[in-house]
Structure 1
Amino acid sequence: MLEQWYTGVVTKIVNETYNTRRFWIHIPEKEAFHFKAGQFVTLDLPIHEKKNKRWRSYSIASHPNGSSDIELVIVLLDGGAGTTYIFNEIKEGSELILRGPLGNFILPETMDRDIFLICTGTGIAPFRSMAKFLHKNQIAHPNIHLIYGSRYEKDILYKDEMRALAAEMPGFHYHPTLSREDSPDWTGHRGYVHNVYEDLLSDRRPAHFFLCGWKVMIDEAKQRIQAMGYDRHDIHLELYG
């Protein structure tokens, strides 16, 4: 059965970085828009005659809270028909056609070992949803390591929020790493995400891996994690682009 399409109304737009925006969408047809942390919605944008060329999927960045509002975080892609339309045409009060929730990129039912959430760019969206859901509902969990890769400090999404969450949520560890930042003011990790999880897992303890972001990062992470001795079934992915 195909999921139903709904009409959402954009209630708020905030520029998160120079090329990334947060969109809050209210779905008036639903008293509550129920989803699991990590799932996504598909938008039907008026950018092509063919249906499947109009569809763009985005992870829900907000956590399930029983309301009929969700948040998406979207980066403007050079030459991307979907994001160009969204950035140029969508204003507060605009309508968006969407369906969902979709996807099986969700936390394991049994959280019996450390969880590594590894992402780049807007790939942080499902992990923000997961972390906030666990925290708000006081759900017991193992150590969770959010490893977030960006080029520069100005690119980091939800930086202050994630730092605050790491300070108040026991067992939640935030590891941003920057591949091109040359400012001496940056005292955090430098380089790519791979070095960070390899260092953290030098003891090869049991772990679940969740990867979200661009294909190049995910392909390399899959290869490196398996080279460390982990089983491919320990690795869960959500591909962007």
Structure 2
Amino acid sequence: MNSFYINTNRIFNSIRKFAWLFILLVAFGGLWYPKLGLLMIPLMLALGVQGFFKGKYWCGNLCPHGSLFDQFIMPISRNKKIPSFLKSKVMIVLAFSWFMYMLTQRLIKVFALFGAAPFWDRLGFIFVMNYLMVTILGTIFALFVSSRTWCSFCPMGTFQVLSYKLGKLMGLNKKIDKKVTVCSIEKCHTCGKCARVCPMQLTPHLEFTENSQFENEMCIRCATCVENCPAGILILSNTEDGLKVVSEQDLTGYENRQSIKAQIVSVKELQDDINEYILAFKSPQKVDYQPGQFMLIKIQDKPLLFRAFTIASNNIDGKTVKIIIKREPGGYGSEIIFNRFKEGDMVELEGPMGNELIVDKTAQKVLFVANGIGITPFIPLTKDLLTTTNNIKEITLIYGVRYEDQFIYDNYFKELEAEHNKFRYIKVVSRPHNEAEHKKGYVTNIIREMDLIGYKVYICGTKAMTLDTLQLLRDKGVEEEDVFHEAV
């Protein structure tokens, strides 16, 4: 089984990138020039004030140790689950009490020298040694457990939380405190990506309040979950602005989301790493969905996780749905499905969801662009447009793969092209074994030569292909409102 937790970029600005240099200055430079440790006094005051208004924001955005752990230790960390005891209130209280006791004892001894020549050196050296010890212990925990293990019980983090509680009690941080906010809980995939990338190993997707905010005081406001949310529905916002964003959300395509119990009635291998699953609805027995939407499939209970898969079937009688799943190397969800989901198994679904690829049937021309497993939504969409009444006069599908044996549903599209004059099916291979039989290149090579006036464009595929295609369409003058996309 692949690791649940994901190492991903957390360096989003210059402060996070270079803050670790402060450790060299104080923890190591202070060994030769102890007065450098005095820099810790304004730093501790600053994080206390910051904590009053923004909670553990310092930990996620300004902390030198956080910069060190995220930038240099995380890539080589074992990245394991942080033991519950290290995150417990008992551990937090013990660590904070020990720190305050030791600091107080040392300060009492040093202040006995107040007025003497060595006083400032001795005072600075206390903070130098404390900072060096945190660096050593934090690095050990980061290497052998997870990069932010120390942050789970760091005394300075606890200091910020206590300051934050005071700010909340006084009601002075509501407008300044920006928390992780879900723009629309209806659009959440419950995929747990936010939990998998969270440095603190929290579970935002399971803890949003009625205000659509993540209120956990251990959150360090680092925005890693915001940057990695597949649905793109997480932001950092105060309560007032967050509620405004929530109220402005368009829920078209999500209004019929429901919990569904279904049974796997067929598993068909399309390729070594691609399976086709047909699911029969049991409760309710009929579900109304459209081509271009997707379903969520529950893959585990603790923590609760679903995976989103595009619907690959037309809704003939509402009793079944087809999905096609690619086994991704290192893919946590696809590994579970391929290894555990068998014919006859009962599964839990949520959906239908999505409107990104629901085609505007008033358009005159439609271009579908897909690569790899991104062809999935266009299997039902193409047939739907060719067999129902609409204004579309021309449909073009550009389908790209790496090698020619990676096309799926190839004969299906060939048959549709033979039966319908308004459908054109274009295949392109980036690394063909036989260049004489297949067009070599990428989907963008084909698009570059097309006249796209009057087209509505729908894209599904890898993130790289999607971004390249979007840029090309902008360069060709295609209006943004005529382009729709979904990355896989």
Same-fold call, TM cutoff 0.5: yes
Please state which structure has a larger fraction of its residues in helix.
Answer: 2
Q: 1:122 maps to which residue?
A: 373
* CA deviations over 1:72-102 (Å, ceiling 9, x no partner): 0110001111100111111111122111110
Q: Which residue of 1 aligns with 2:277?
A: 23
Output one character per residue of 1:100-156: Cα deviation in whole Å (capped at 9) or x when no partner. Answer: 1100120014123x1110011111111111111123335452211111110111111
Deviations 1:208-237 (A, max 9, x none): 110101111001100001101111111101
Q: What TM-score results when the alignment is normalised by the length of structure 1?
A: 0.91
Deviations 1:147-201 (A, max 9, x none): 11101111111011111111112311111111011225x5232110001122232
Task: Verify: 1:101 aligned to 2:352, yes or no.
Answer: yes
CA distance in 2, matches of 1:211, 1:134: 16
Q: 1:50 corresponds to which letter in structure 2?
A: P
Q: Paired residue for 2:336, among 80, 85, 103?
A: 85
Given that residues 209 and 236 in structure 1 are in contact (C-alpha distance below 8 angstroms), is that contact kept between their aligned partners in structure 2? Answer: yes
Structure 2: 5+ residue runs without aligned partners?
A: 1-184, 187-256
Specify the alignment match of 1:64 in structure 2: 315
1:31 and 1:64 map into 2 onto residues whose CA distance is 13
1:194 and 1:225 mapped to 2: Cα distance?
Answer: 9
**CA distance in structure 1 between the aligned counterparts of 2:455 and 2:477, rounded to whole angstroms:** 11
Unaligned runs of 5+ in 1: none
Asked whether the 8 Å contact 1:38–1:60 carries over to 2, the reply is yes
1:26-37 correspondence to structure 2 within 5 Å: 26-37=280-291
Q: Secondary structure at the match of 2:448?
A: helix
Report the 3-state secondary structure (helix = DSSP H, G, I; strand = E; otherwise coil) of the residue aligned with 1:190. coil
Partners of 1:121 and 1:213 within 8 A in 2: yes
What is the deviation of 1:205?
2.1
In structure 2, C-alpha distance between the alignment counterparts of 1:88 and 1:193, rounded to whole Å: 33
Which of the numbers 414, 425, 441 marks the counterpart of 1:174?
A: 425
Give the alignment's TM-score, normalised by structure 2: 0.46
Deviation of 1:49 after TM superposition, in Å, equals 2.1
Aligned partner letter, 2:450:
L
The answer as to whether partners of 1:134 and 1:140 remain within 8 angstroms in 2 is no
Aligned-pair identity in percent equals 26
Report matched runs for 1:36-51 at 5 Å.
36-46=290-300, 49-51=302-304
Question: Residues of 1 paired with 2:342 and 2:285: CA distance?
Answer: 23
Question: Once the 2 structures are TM-superposed, how far is the Cα of residue 206 of structure 1 from its aligned partner?
Answer: 1.8
1:224 match: 472
Query: In the alignment, what sits opposite 2:447?
Result: 197
Number of residues of Structure 1 aligned to a counterpart in Structure 2: 233
Q: 1:156 is matched with which residue?
A: 407
Check whether the contact 1:17–1:154 (CA below 8 A) recurs between aligned residues.
no
Paired residue secondary structure (2:377): helix
SS at match of 1:41: strand
* Higher Rg: 2
Give CA deviations for 1:6-48 in whole Å, capped at 9, x if unaligned. 11111011111121111001112234321111000011111x6
Equivalent in the alignment of 2:265: 11
RMSD of aligned Cα (Å) = 1.6
Is 1:111 aligned to residue 359 of structure 2?
Answer: no
Name the structure, 1 or 2, with higher relative contact order (CA <8 Å, separation 6+): 1
Q: In structure 1, how many angstroms separate the alpha carbons of the residues matched to 2:465 and 2:369?
A: 9
Specify the code of the residue in structure 1 equivalent to 2:315. P
**Counterpart-to-counterpart distance in 1, 2:360 and 2:406:** 29
Q: Go from structure 1 to structure 2 and tell me whether the alpha carbon gap of 1:94 and 1:31 turns closer, same or farther (over 3 Å shift).
A: closer
